[in-house]
Amino acid sequence: MKVKALAAVSTMLIAGVASADLTGLYLENKTDAGAEALGLFICNVYAQFDDAGDRALSVGFSDITTSGTFYQHAFGSDFPPNDAFIAAFPELAYDTYLTIGLKTIPVGGVNPIAGDGDFNSGGGQHYTGGWFNSNPNNGAGDPNADGRVLLAQLSVNDGDTITGSMTVFWKDAQSGQAIGTAVDFVHVPAPGALALLGVAGLAGRRRRRA
C-alpha cells in the first residue's frame, strides 16, 4: 500500500497554563491495487494531538462535500466495516465511513460508533451531521503512537476534491475538561502525484464544556 500524507497543523498557546491540545488535522492519502482498480482516491482524516493522554470523544457540526460522489459499498454503512464482511467482500475496505479511532469492527464485535446524517443524501456528495463513540472508555479515541485518532475515511473517484469542516470534541489530558475545537480542511488530489492541501483553523475556536 502506498501512503502519502501532509500534516495540517495549527496550535493555540495559553500563556502560563499547562495544556494538552488538538493541534490540527492530519490528512493521509492511501492507495493499493484494489483501490486503483476501482479508480478510487482515499483520504483518511485524523485528529492530531500533542498529549498521549488526550481522548477524542465525538464530532459535531460537520459539513463534508466532494466534487464527485463518495464511494459506498453495498454492504457498508456510515460507520466502520466489520472484518467478517471485508473477508467476504474485500472492496468493502475502501468504503466511506465515519469513526472515532476504529478502522474496522472485529468479527463478533459490536460497533460503538453512532450518529446522525447520511452520506447517501444529496446524491452521495454531501454529509452534514455528527458522530460519537458510545463507549468513550474503550480506548478507541486514544491517540496512536503518532498522536493521531482516525475520524473518517473518505473515498472518492481519483481527481475529485473533498472539503470539510467539523468540531472535534475531546477530553484534555491535563485539565480533564471536554473541549470542542473547530477545524477545516481541503483535500485536492493532483493527477499522478496524490498531492493534498490541508487547512486547520484553531485559534479562538475552542469551546469548553463542563
Confidence (pLDDT) at 30: 85
Give the pLDDT confidence of 171-196 residue by residue, as tens digits.
999 999 999 999 999 988 754 434 33
Which residues have C-beta within 8 Å of that of residue 61, sequence separation ≥ 6? 130, 165, 166, 167, 182
Confidence (pLDDT) at 31: 84
Which stretch of DSSP H or E encloses residue 125?
Answer: none
Confidence (pLDDT) at 123: 72
| Cα of 194 vs its chain's centroid, Å | 18
- Predicted TM-score (pTM) of the model is 0.85
Beta bridge partners, 134, equal none
Confidence (pLDDT) at 37: 95
Check: CB of residue 69 under 8 Å from CB of residue 124: yes
Confidence (pLDDT) at 105: 97
Grouped pLDDT means (10 residues each) for the chain, 210 residues: 46 39 92 92 95 97 95 94 96 97 96 87 84 97 97 94 96 95 86 41 43
Q: If DSSP codes are grouped into helix, strand and coil, which group holds residue 121?
A: helix
**Number of domains making up the chain:** 1
Q: Is 200 exposed, middle or buried (0-12, 13-18, 19+ CB in 10 A)?
A: buried
- Domain with 155 in it: 2-209
